[in-house]
Amino acid sequence: MRKALLADDDFLVRSYLKMLSSWEKAGFEITADVRDGEEALEVLDREKMDMVVTDIAMPLMDGIELIREIRKKYPDIYIIVLSCHDEFEYVKKAMKEGADEYVLKNTLNEESLYTVLKAAEEHIGQSREDPKESIADTERETGEKTDHTGNMNEKFLFFNQVLAGTMSGEEREEKRIQAGICGKYKNSAVIVIKREDAEYTDDPLEEAKKEQYSLEFYRHMQEKLSAGTGGSEPEKELIYLGNGTYCCFLDLSEEHKSSLMYQYLTGTASACYKICAEAEEVYKIGVSNICIGEDALRQAYQQARMMIKNSFYEKDKVAYYEVDNVIGTELPEEAEKLSEAAELLRKKNGKAEFLSMSEKAVQAFRKVRCDSQLVRQWFRELEQKLQPVTSGKDIQFGYIGEVQEELEHLAEQVFECGAQDIPEDLSQPVRIAAEYVARHYREAVGLGDAAEAAGVNSTYLSYLFSQEMGIGFANYLLNLRMEHAKKLLKETNLKMWQVAEESGFNDYHYFSKVFKKTEGMSPAQYRKCSG
């Protein structure tokens, strides 16, 4: 079997494609599916793939950039681009970057996918002079491949295909009846519920625990919603989409009064909110408008998904669709300016300027409302440039206001220690050494490391440092470590040995001895007095 990697940020698209039997018939298996280009490259770095099937529009790294990177690193991989009918200009760009083939999402079915995959398999075999048997030979020997989709949840499959736009009206009606779905969904609304901590981790055990909890919560929510509030209610179906995300499809086909439609919609959204409010986890809820027509479900689903993304900018846990609430795909200019200026601000201890630019960046984010993943990525890159005392911690923003708070905290970390003690009129070696130590004092660094960074020998640096800084290198390093230790003692509940390690002291007993000598009290006494 050839190995294929599937990259698309829409879980429903990935699920629909994976359940098609065409892959196996054409000699492929999907060994990994990811949500964006960055995740795709991570998979390719650790596992050999024969083919990549990628969407164009994805967060963090889109399909165009992914194709470009694949062609640099893995030129033999066969690339198929997934596109919508209105993305042809991007398709042309993708083909120019090195894609081998493209297919329209709304035309994908068993037959069309098999045709594309068969051509891909033949191309791969020929290019690698692979003696692998042809698909026709394999089918003659083994017979028709078994369609494994029958064991999957019929309702899930139905809504999956509807949202992917792969069924005609006649086929849709037939499968709706087969799945036991009562609602016709000509007038529809969709409510998407997403757990805030549902980001993917590399820990299989942790992911398994999350998924088990999600399934239990799904059954609980399904039971609660099925009970209803009494009286006449519209048909609704709750589907678990995976990764802590649920979708409630509301059928309003039999109701012609708009007031009652909205009453049903807000009532169901309120019921979902109450169920989520009782849970230990935190959930966000996106609610669509009422959509009418054959494509109503797809339209409503996209609206609800948009509001989940928009909820990053709203304090309310339930976000109702509004036409003007559009999610941007590019960083605002103010955010890019801050990122570009970060290292310079750190060097000149420009805390006030940093805070001012941070406030403008957050205000711009509120106005532009770009994808929350872009905001998180921007913050991580900014943090890397500034190298704060607690860099590397996992920060999950649930609301844009938390970004402002974290930027202020970041400023306290970066500008409170070391940089203010670096005078302006230093020679280049001493300045480089002082800045190097200010960034690395929590590590096992010494005079030799600083001298190497400055490009001079350690003896010469030691002399210059004492002359220009008015303090010996060793004492300067010790002071930085002590200031950091005192900060941790005052602001955290870390154990004493952890404070020592985080401050650059490998030996706790030595740390305790030095601390008592310099501060006149033990670390424990200092924490007690500071509390």
In sign, the C-alpha dihedral spanning 32, 36, 39, 44 is positive
Which residues of the chain fall below pLDDT 50? 130-152, 229-231, 389-392, 417-420
Asked if residues 85 and 106 have their Cβ atoms less than 8 Å apart, the reply is: yes
Supply 429's token pair.
């070696």
DSSP string spanning 319-355? EE--TT---BSS--HHHHHHHHHHHHHHHTT-HHHHH
Give residue 334's pLDDT. Answer: 93
Contact 182, 248 (CB under 8 A): no
pLDDT of residue 193: 92
Secondary structure of residue 439 in the 3-state scheme = helix
Tokens of 180: 């036991």
Among 430, 393, 432, which residue's Cα sits nearest to residue 413? 393
Q: pLDDT at position 230, please?
A: 47
- Rounded distance between C-alpha atoms, residue 176 and residue 477, angstroms: 71
8 Å CB contact between 169 and 111:
no
- φ, ψ dihedrals at 202, nearest 5°: -85, -5
- Give the model's pLDDT for residue 6: 93
pLDDT at residue 30 in the model:
92
Give 379's contacts (C-beta < 8 A, 6+ positions apart).
395, 397, 403, 406, 407
Q: What is the CA radius of gyration of the chain?
A: 29
Q: Is the sign of the CA dihedral 49, 138, 25, 81 positive or negative?
A: positive
Q: Please state whether the predicted TM-score (pTM) of the whole model is above 0.75.
A: no
**What pLDDT is stored for residue 5 in this prediction?**
93
- What is the token pair recorded at 413? 């970390």
